[in-house]
Structure 1
């Protein structure tokens, strides 16, 4: 017969051995959990730092913090280029800002595209303003057309309460912002087209004008987008056209 004491000792050894292997096997899971928690905390920290720096006018700091969000960001991959592009826009580095925001647009899903499209349209509009100030009315009109197309292609769901709750700037009404953008960009385009042709250079060449077919397509989209928003709002609108046609919004 087996000695009860020996059997008990053997059983205890087996239990200790099992517990030891369980502990060893759980180490990778514990490490992965700690890494995940650290990553989540760092994402929130970088996001808060990026926004805070932007608000205080530290655009370089905001951009640097935004780049900190890019590593292994499987939850909101669009946020890093979105925040970086917005910071670059604040620093008037508009071509770089546009590139980052376009990257963000390819990564954004669902209602995430709302903020990205609004800021991207504002950046392209500001690029048009810069060309207009530099005397290149044709290039300015082309950029205004691109900004208008970005705006009218914004999903109608962006003018909803759910989209507003997810906005990066809760104080900015998305519906009003989109309406103001459309009105302003249309007026800027019209003003550019009404100007006398200034594209004649010393070689007698005329600067390229915006493609009329593309402008007509934008107009069609514009009308449909405006109708969708009015239907969603019960036929209402922003009701405030003051200041439309001049200036730009500040993105965030």
Structure 2
């Protein structure tokens, strides 16, 4: 009985088939991780792109374009979730859409953590202050004072850490001195709130114009004329003829 020698070519083919099968299963098993990695990278790139577009549009006063770009950050907002509503609210505030801007910035404040709250609080206080200015321009002093009080509360509740160098480095506006901005906003709001709470000054009554009174000489002249007229009338009624033959003159 003889044993056939193994066929090297057949063994090689079988080994290649096993390797291909293993690679295929490895590819299938790692496919979710690959897709997740691609999505991660794509999201990062899109976030940077939308953020850059939002900033660029804001700088050139294209607030509607800035808002549209910022809203692009809201999709799958995993990284720095406060940034999308913060950028949207800032653009809306610059466009004077104050109630909508305030709502977005308040949303951003709830999502912010640590030093992220510093810039959010500054912009939120500025938007509420503008609401107060608008109410004052409409003659609604009570609402204006209320808005100024709310903006002052937002400013006073800003953490002390927001005055640090680390907070300045993380600011969305590096040219703005965060500590000085907070102090200026606080002082300005206090002054505006006091102005609206003070009672209005009493209105001065305009003096009534008095009719001019005649002088003493004028009064004496009028009296002399009245007396002279009375004497002439008496003489006409009595007649000047001694015999009384003249006819009466009509009065």
Number of the residue aligned with 1:211 = none
TM score, norm. by length of structure 1: 0.75
Number of the residue aligned with 1:43 = 47
Number of the residue aligned with 1:3 = 6
Identify the match of residue 102 of structure 2 among 71, 89, 98: 98
Deviation digits for residues 29-69 of structure 1 (CA, Å, limit 9, x no counterpart): 22221121111111111111111111111111111111100
Identify the match of residue 71 of structure 2 among 64, 67, 70: 67
**Deviation of 1:186 (Å):** 0.6
Distance 1:13 1:145, change over 3 A: same
Number of the residue aligned with 2:22 = 18
Number of the residue aligned with 1:109 = 113
User: Higher relative contact order by CA 8 Å / sep ≥ 6: 1 or 2?
Assistant: 1
Distance in 2, matches of 1:197 and 1:109, equals 46
Q: How many residues align?
A: 198
Larger Rg: 2
Distance in 1, matches of 2:87 and 2:127, equals 13
**Deviation of 1:4 (Å):** 5.8
Give the RMSD, CA atoms, in angstroms: 1.7
Deviation digits for residues 86-135 of structure 1 (CA, Å, limit 9, x no counterpart): 11111111111101101111111111111100000000001001111111
Number of the residue aligned with 2:156 = 152
**2:124 partner SS:** helix
* Structure 1: gaps (5+ residues): 199-252
1:121 equivalenced with 2:125 (yes/no): yes
**Deviation of 1:19 (Å):** 1.4
**Deviation of 1:197 (Å):** 8.2
**1:72 partner SS:** coil
